[in-house]
Amino acid sequence: MRRWFRRKDKDRERSEEEELAREEGEAPEEAEESEEAAEEPGEALKEPLPQEVSVEEAPPAAPEVRPGFFRRMFGPKAPEESLPPPELTALPEGQPPPAPEPPLEISPEEPAVVSLDAATLVEASEAEIIPETPESPEAARKGLFRRLRERLNRTREALAGGLDRLFAGRKVIDEALLEELEELLITADLGVDTTLQLIQGIRGRVKRRELGEVERLKAALHEEMVALLQGPPPQEITSRPRVVLVVGVNGVGKTTTIAKLAHQDRRRGLTPLLIAADTFRAAAVEQLEIWGERAGAQVVKQKHGADPAAVVFDGLAAALARGADTVYIDTAGRLQTKVNLMEELKKIHRTAAKKLPGAPHETFLVLDATTGQNALSQARLFHEAVGLTGVILTKMDGTAKGGVALAVAHETGIPLRYLGVGEAMEDLRPFDAEAFVAAVLGEGE
């Protein structure tokens, strides 16, 4: 602080001396002192100033005004010095100013960005979309067969792999080969009766000398299997709504299968409706509601523990009022050996027929393919109770016992209608005997 006040006093005295010298016409002592200070350091700085420049002609330098201490400490910061403008050179007289530089041109490789409104963008996008060529029925069938073959991988390994090992190195069809083939088919869960039927047909061909080489044996087995699986075509139902009753034991996948059937109806432009007649299992109604929302189908329900037959009666009334095309009735899982539960299922069947004559138009039994030969007992007892019109085999992608499909179709006489080969909505496939046999025997692409 003391140095600041001393400096300020010196500045004041210097300014007073400069004013006094200016009044008397004398050069300020500051200039002389600055010249002496400049001449002292180094020999290179002792050259005289040019003659044209006079110290007396130069305007006196204004004293530097410095801000106060507190303003310098706490005041706003001085703005940053901007760059000096470029030097301008004077043009000779009569010379025109230079022409401005042309704007930068965009090369063809770098397209300019053009703003488009929404309508222009829509028109451009529609013009650039290449219409997809419709897939031919043959190509669609090959794609379905390829996916079916992939999902039936475990069954194909058990059956087709065993046949390849059995036929390897064999050239003649003899009785020993047929006995080994019979054992292989039984272990693949085709069932005893179904296997005997197949072997009997092959023996008849051998006796008629239709089969002379082992290479023809696999093709003959394919033909015999397809003949066993060929069931009557489904009846055409013209009444609306079409009522489908879905039954089965616990844990076979009835609810998810119903949702997949409803999803197929939605894709065909139909309006499905689901009836939650499983009123005893905890969260069964909520599960059906979740799947119904995914499939885009409405659900008719009542409180937990209500009479299933009453729920079906009210559900059919709602279907008639809402103009539904198909109705799927989800029933509680029950063992085929429980007489009282099977009687309750018969009551549901009678109630549906009372509300809507001819209903239910179809009754599907959902079977778990992993159960193997136990599926035959379920099919027989449910068929006796409510008269089945079709069988749906689920979980075919997770078992090597896919041969049970032939046993169910042959020993019960009930046609196979659908195969469940996965958890997605599209993984419920209409049953095709030719494609199924080709997939499990490892034929085709």
Is the model more confident about 56 or about 414?
414
Stretch (H or E) spanning 149: helix 137-151
pLDDT in tens, 148-168: 778 888 888 888 888 888 888
d(Cα 363, Cα 331) in Å, to the nearest integer?
11
Per-residue pLDDT, 92: 53
Which residue type, as a one-letter code, is found at position 365? L
3-class secondary structure, 273: strand
Is the model more confident about 112 or about 412?
412
CA 266 to chain centre: 19
Dihedral over Cα of 136, 137, 142, 148: its sign: positive
Residue given tokens 């400069």 in the structure block: 18
Per-residue pLDDT, 72: 55
Per-residue pLDDT, 97: 57
Confidence category of residue 442, pLDDT binned at 50, 70, 90: confident
Cβ contacts of residue 143 below 8 Å, gap of 6+? Answer: 135
Beta bridge partners of 364: 246, 390
CA 167 to chain centre: 43
Is the model more confident about 354 or about 110?
354
The DSSP line for 200-265 is HHHHHHHHTT---STHHHHHHHHHHHHHHH--PPPPP--SSSEEEEEE--TTS-HHHHHHHHHHHH
Nearest to 323 by CA among 273, 254, 261, 386: 273
Question: How is residue 323 written in tokens?
Answer: 């103009």
Q: Are 205 and 389 in contact (CB under 8 A)?
A: no
3-class secondary structure, 394: strand
d(Cα 209, Cα 199) in Å, to the nearest integer?
15
Range 381-391 average pLDDT: 93
Is the model more confident about 36 or about 424?
424
Is the model more confident about 32 or about 439?
439
d(Cα 345, Cα 352) in Å, to the nearest integer?
11
Per-residue pLDDT, 296: 94
Per-residue pLDDT, 382: 94
d(Cα 89, Cα 35) in Å, to the nearest integer?
33
Range 102-126 average pLDDT: 40
Dihedral over Cα of 199, 204, 207, 210: its sign: negative
d(Cα 437, Cα 445) in Å, to the nearest integer?
13
CA distances from 346 to 55, 277, 339, 355 (A): 127, 13, 11, 15
d(Cα 434, Cα 138) in Å, to the nearest integer?
14
Is the model more confident about 152 or about 110?
152
pLDDT in tens, 168-192: 888 888 889 999 999 999 988 888 9
Range 253-274 average pLDDT: 96
d(Cα 316, Cα 229) in Å, to the nearest integer?
34
Per-residue pLDDT, 4: 62
Per-residue pLDDT, 74: 53
Q: Where are the beta strands (DSSP E) in 151-208?
A: none
Per-residue pLDDT, 394: 94
d(Cα 155, Cα 339) in Å, to the nearest integer?
34
Residue given tokens 């179809």 in the structure block: 362
Query: Which range scores top for mean pLDDT: 54-58, 106-110, 441-445?
Result: 441-445
d(Cα 431, Cα 22) in Å, to the nearest integer?
119
Nearest to 388 by CA among 345, 356, 420: 345
Question: How is residue 434 written in tokens?
Answer: 């030719």
Provide the percentage of residues in the chain whose pLDDT is more than 70: 69
Kindly report whether the peptide bond that precedes residue 111 is cis, defined as omega within 30 degrees of 0.
no
Q: Are 300 and 328 in contact (CB under 8 A)?
A: no
Is the model more confident about 360 or about 443?
360
| 41: DSSP letter | S
Q: How many CB atoms lie within 10 A of CB 214?
A: 16
**Over 332-393, what HEC string results?**
CCCCCCCHHHHHHHHHHHHHHHHHCCCCCCEEEEEEEHHHCCHHHHHHHHHHHHHCCCEEEE
Range 283-295 average pLDDT: 94
d(Cα 350, Cα 357) in Å, to the nearest integer?
10
pLDDT at 298 over 60: yes
Per-residue pLDDT, 287: 94
Is the model more confident about 281 or about 263?
263
Per-residue pLDDT, 42: 44
pLDDT in tens, 119-128: 333 333 333 3
Question: How is residue 307 written in tokens?
Answer: 């009479």
Per-residue pLDDT, 47: 46
pLDDT at 323 over 90: yes
Residue given tokens 């998810």 in the structure block: 256
How does strand 416-420 pair with strand 428-430? Answer: antiparallel
Which residue type, as a one-letter code, is found at position 92? P
Cβ contacts of residue 435 below 8 Å, gap of 6+? Answer: 141, 144, 145, 148
3-class secondary structure, 170: coil
